[in-house]
Amino acid sequence: MASRTLNFDNFMTEKKQEPIMVTVFGKEYPVKPEIPAIVMVTLARTNDSNISEFEATKMLLNAGDVLFGKEAISEFCAKGMQSDQLINLIKMVFETINGKDVDGEDVEELSDEDGMVSTSSKAKK
């Protein structure tokens, strides 16, 4: 009888992709093209009815730390990013990773009305 083996490590190595480059305040940040499992677990926990709004917001912002790194999130805040902008940035990155059309065209670029966020060097102006 044939042995059945699953080598998940090989699967993940073969699946590696180039990062998504996200530009915020003129600086590019590489973001993995997949949402880390810890982010999904954390966000799933925000749906628990026993979690306060503060705790839910903290979990979402922790997702930003995982996607961009704590230093980058601190840079965004130091440059004046508002909480709703950070939440929108995180949501837009999730949508891009999931292949969703975020601006009515091909998913190559993200931009908010202030022009602070873009995932390509082909920024529309």
Structure-block tokens of residue 48: 């628990």
Segment 30-80, tens digit of pLDDT: 998 888 888 778 767 766 667 777 877 777 778 889 899 999 999 999 999
Q: What CA–CA distance (Å, rounded) separates 54 from 32?
A: 27
Structural domain spans, the chain: 36-100
pLDDT score recorded for residue 21 = 92
Segment 77-125, tens digit of pLDDT: 999 999 889 989 988 998 898 887 666 544 444 444 444 444 444 443 3
Q: What CA–CA distance (Å, rounded) separates 10 from 18?
A: 17
pTM reported for the whole predicted model: 0.64
pLDDT score recorded for residue 26 = 94
Is residue 110 helix, strand or coil?
Answer: coil
